[in-house]
Amino acid sequence: MNSMAKKAVVAIGGNSLIKDKAHRTVSDQYAATAETCKHIADMIETGWDVVITSGNGPQVGFILRRSELAAHELHEVPLDYCGADTQGAIGYMIQRALYNEFHHRNVDRDVASVVTQVLVDREDPAFENPAKPVGSFMEEDDARRREKDEGWIVKEDSGRGWRRVVPSPIPQRIIELPAIKALIRDGVIVYAVGGGGIPVIEDEHGYLKGVAAVIDKDRASSLLATGLEADVLLISTAVEQVYLNFGTDEQQPINKMTHVEAERHLAEGHFAPGSMKPKIEACVQFIKNGGDLAIITDPPNITRALAGETGTHIVRGHHVPPPPERR
């Protein structure tokens, strides 16, 4: 390993592994993963040490649906185990795609996946107000039955049916962080914190227990980047740059902004919840926790964004005190 290499956490979305509704099979997902990994390999070949993270929303949904369909014959899969399953499967796709890409380029690098647990606070307010929909849509009668029989929290979802909702607590600590650090020191490219990590809580004796919850993958990626003292947090998404007034006639791309400006734009409501907002929040948190640079761009532009040619760059800023009152 080059001891002078810079470290980056690259977060890719679970939806980025699925191009559209017609390409959702495992082989389709692998093809999309391989395409993204080509761009990450470009980055690695220029000298970066990389830890890759990902979302897993669609993949967990598939497992839950299969589990529901087979419930008459087999036990259903708990949500924390769905997270573990998807970490293994997505990690396998990334490992194979990067291995093949390195083989094609004659690059000598190893890749490993770490099934990652992420500690959350058992007193997190999110447990009192579950709001993250998971699994299939249901008729109200079925939803109420599962609410009664299995203790689910269910809510009606925008007129489309009823769904189970689970908490989305804030990540506190990455349990396998020391192992991830050790792998990076040995020059290994790592896939970790898949889907935001498997949420676990500590009991009063310090033992870990998995919980039915979902951790935001961008928040977990930010926490990982902080723990690794990464040089950059790079969040890969569907657009080349972040925009103000997105989707309107007044939309304008943001090339660079300070974390203070980003916080102001967040307060002004420029970024949609469940879309760009959590990505901006994760970048701001990384900078506030000591990071120097966060970048948001799409996979084909990763190398150009790292060179400062495109993407949205978020850097450290300083709060400007309000002007003195006039007397």
Asked if residue 4 has pLDDT above 70, the reply is no
Whether the full predicted model's pTM is greater than 0.85, yes or no, is yes
Mean model confidence pLDDT for the chain: 92
Asked if residue 103 has pLDDT above 60, the reply is yes
C-beta of residue 57 within 8 angstroms of C-beta of residue 24: no
CA distance 233 to 294: 5
List 13, 56, 57, 217, catalytic entry: 217
CA distance 111 to 98: 7
CA distance 52 to 43: 12
CA distance 165 to 259: 32
C-beta of residue 192 within 8 angstroms of C-beta of residue 88: no
Q: Tell whether the torsion through CA atoms of 265, 268, 272 and 273 is positive or negative.
A: positive
CA distance 40 to 37: 5
Q: Which two tokens stand for residue 212?
A: 């039915």
List 13, 14, 57, 195, catalytic entry: 14
217 is catalytic: yes
pLDDT digits 0-9 by tens, 232-247? 999 999 899 999 988 8
Determine the average pLDDT of the residues in 19-32: 87
pLDDT digits 0-9 by tens, 34-56? 999 999 999 999 999 999 999 99
C-beta of residue 269 within 8 angstroms of C-beta of residue 248: no
Q: Which two tokens stand for residue 249?
A: 């006639």
Coil, helix or strand at residue 6 = coil
CA distance 155 to 132: 10
Percentage with pLDDT > 90 across the chain: 78
In which band, very low, low, confident or very high, does the pLDDT at 1 lie, cut at 50, 70 and 90?
very low
List 91, 279, 291, 311, catalytic entry: 279
List 7, 15, 100, 155, catalytic entry: 15
DSSP characters for 275-296? TTHHHHHHHHHHHHTT--EEEE
C-beta of residue 156 within 8 angstroms of C-beta of residue 141: no
132 is catalytic: yes
279 is catalytic: yes
List 13, 38, 55, 132, catalytic entry: 132
Asked if residue 322 has pLDDT above 80, the reply is no
**Phi-psi map region of 6: left, alpha, beta (phi>0 left; psi -120 to 50 alpha):** beta
CA distance 32 to 14: 11
CA distance 134 to 141: 18
- pLDDT of the residue at 326: 47
Protein fold of 7-119+177-315:
Carbamate kinase (3.40.1160)
CA distance 261 to 290: 17
pLDDT digits 0-9 by tens, 168-190? 999 999 999 999 999 999 999 99
The amino acid sitting at 54 is: S
DSSP characters for 227-260? HTT-SEEEEE-SSSSEEETTTSTT-EEESEEEHH
Domain segments of the chain as ranges: 7-119+177-315
- pLDDT of the residue at 321: 52
